Amino acid sequence: MFKYTSRRNKFKKKEGFKIGKKEKTLINNSIRADKVLLIDHEGNKRGIMDKNAAMAIAQQNNLDLVQIAVTEDHPICKILDFGKYLYQKQKKLKKNKKNQHIIHVKEIRLRLNTGEHDLITKLNKAKKFLQEGNKIKFSIMFRGREITRKDSAVEILEQVAQSFSEISIIDKKPSLEGRKMFLILSPN
């Protein structure tokens, strides 16, 4: 926990400890406020008191005075074991990160002349993506004079939407943007 400052004074102690990417937890002497709102190690609210008195109570119990939250008037400080607090906080962050699911938009490209077997294969792959919880974007690209056959592209995309009607919701109906027609489905 050292920070390089200059050649003469090579290392200088940091005042706080980083838990996440941005959060800095202040403990004991690094708390800058004169008066703090104290919560003791049993969870009882002790009220507003001098920082030195709060530190004395913490030292009697062989624990640390940790700043939990910063308010306008007085910071909220709690008496607890700082090592245990850091461990629980990091464990909580890992659990939250583990439980979070990022939804990706998977694109499946079709053509007006895509064969029936190829279409079935692509639809099976799309079904797998939907079951994983991802959105699907079906796109049909027009080349050359194929742009005159927009109605057949709409028909293909509507058939695709109909085949997934049980396990998905239509986010965006078939629409033309430039030389591509899109259909976006999301899982139920």
> Domain extents for the chain?
2-98, 105-187
Cα(28)–Cα(54) distance, integer angstroms: 9
The model's pTM: 0.50
State the CATH class of domain 105-187: alpha beta
Per-residue pLDDT of the chain (188 residues), as tens digits, is: 455 555 555 554 444 555 545 567 788 888 888 888 888 888 888 889 888 888 888 888 889 888 888 887 888 899 998 888 889 989 999 998 888 777 789 999 999 998 999 999 999 999 999 998 899 999 999 998 999 999 999 999 999 999 999 999 999 999 999 899 999 999 98
Q: How far is it, in rounded angstroms, from Cα 66 to Cα 30?
A: 10
pLDDT number for residue 18: 52
| C-beta separation of 164 from 188 below 8 A | no
- For residue 100, the model assigns a pLDDT of 79
pLDDT score, position 155: 93
Q: By the 8 A CB rule, do 42 and 63 touch?
A: no
Q: What is the pLDDT of residue 119?
A: 92
pLDDT at 180: 93
What integer pLDDT is reported at residue 13 of this predicted model?
Answer: 45
Cα–Cα distance between 91 and 85 in angstroms, integer?
10
What's the pLDDT score for residue 175? Answer: 92
Between CA 27 and CA 31 the distance in angstroms is 6
Report the pLDDT value the prediction gives residue 137, as an integer from 0 to 100. 95
Task: State residue 103's pLDDT score.
Answer: 79
- What is the CATH T-level fold of the domain 2-98, as seen in this structure? Ubiquitin-like (UB roll) (3.10.20)
